[in-house]
Amino acid sequence: MSATVHELPARPASTLAPDRYLTAGELADHLRVCTRTIRRWVREGCPSHPWGSRLRRFRLAEVEAWLNERAGRTMASTDKRPGSAVDAPGPAPRLEVVMHEQRNPSDRGGA
């Protein structure tokens, strides 16, 4: 298998109010992650609010602040070189990795 990296287009300005309560699904859609990632983040300390006995809701501003703090902490602890991504102005580009299955050239025939 090989991988191709594509830069994703910039996300348009959010139409979600930062103080609105979001479900895990809405938050996952907005951040382009799966709901399993949201549940893992909650276990890792992502801010959320109990909603009934089993549900949680999220405020976008709180989650984005938590993610930015977490990303800054991770980047600062792993890369101390001048000019690294920690020192770079603006947001890092969004990347998407696409996996490609490589075929053997001798397999071009039918079944």
Tokens representing 25 are 């699904």
pLDDT band at 24 (very low <50, low <70, confident <90, very high): very high
Q: In sequence order, what are the residues at sequence separation of 6 or more whose Cβ sits closer than 8 angstroms to the Cβ of residue 78?
A: none
pLDDT digit string, tens, across residues 49-94: 998 988 999 999 999 999 999 888 766 655 555 554 444 455 555 6
Q: Which residue has the higher pLDDT, 44 or 91?
A: 44
Partners of 75 in the β-ladder: none
Distance separating alpha carbons of residues 62 and 47, to the nearest angstrom: 6
E strand or H helix that includes residue 30: helix 24-31
Distance separating alpha carbons of residues 31 and 56, to the nearest angstrom: 17
pTM of full prediction above 0.75: no
Domain residue spans in the chain? 23-75
Q: Which residue has the higher pLDDT, 33 or 4?
A: 33
